[in-house]
Amino acid sequence: MENRIIAEVVELLEHSQTKGITKIKCMILDEENKNKLLVRNVIGPIQKKDILILPKIDAESGTHR
């Protein structure tokens, strides 16, 4: 699972009623970047302490072009 990040939701920041998108703050649980915080948008029902599997993007992986 190299291109995925496992994270736990620590805070719900904003919720868009019209589109069902919630901005969350989550903590990475993977060994590589453990305890690093990310802010992400998610669609659907979400609550604190949920575990997410997120796709890794270039900005998070540290590779720059």
Q: Please give the backbone phi and psi of residue 49, each rounded to the nearest 5 degrees, phi first.
A: 75, 5
* Domains in the chain: ranges and CATH: 4-60 (2.40.50.140)
pTM: 0.77
What pLDDT, in 10s, does the model give residues 37-58? 999 999 999 999 999 998 887 6
pLDDT classification of 62: cutoffs 50, 70, 90: low
- 16-25 pLDDT per residue, tens: 888 889 999 9
Higher pLDDT, 51 or 5: 51
Locate all alpha helices (DSSP H) within the chain, ordered by sequence: 58-61
Rounded CA-CA distance 58/65 in Å is 9
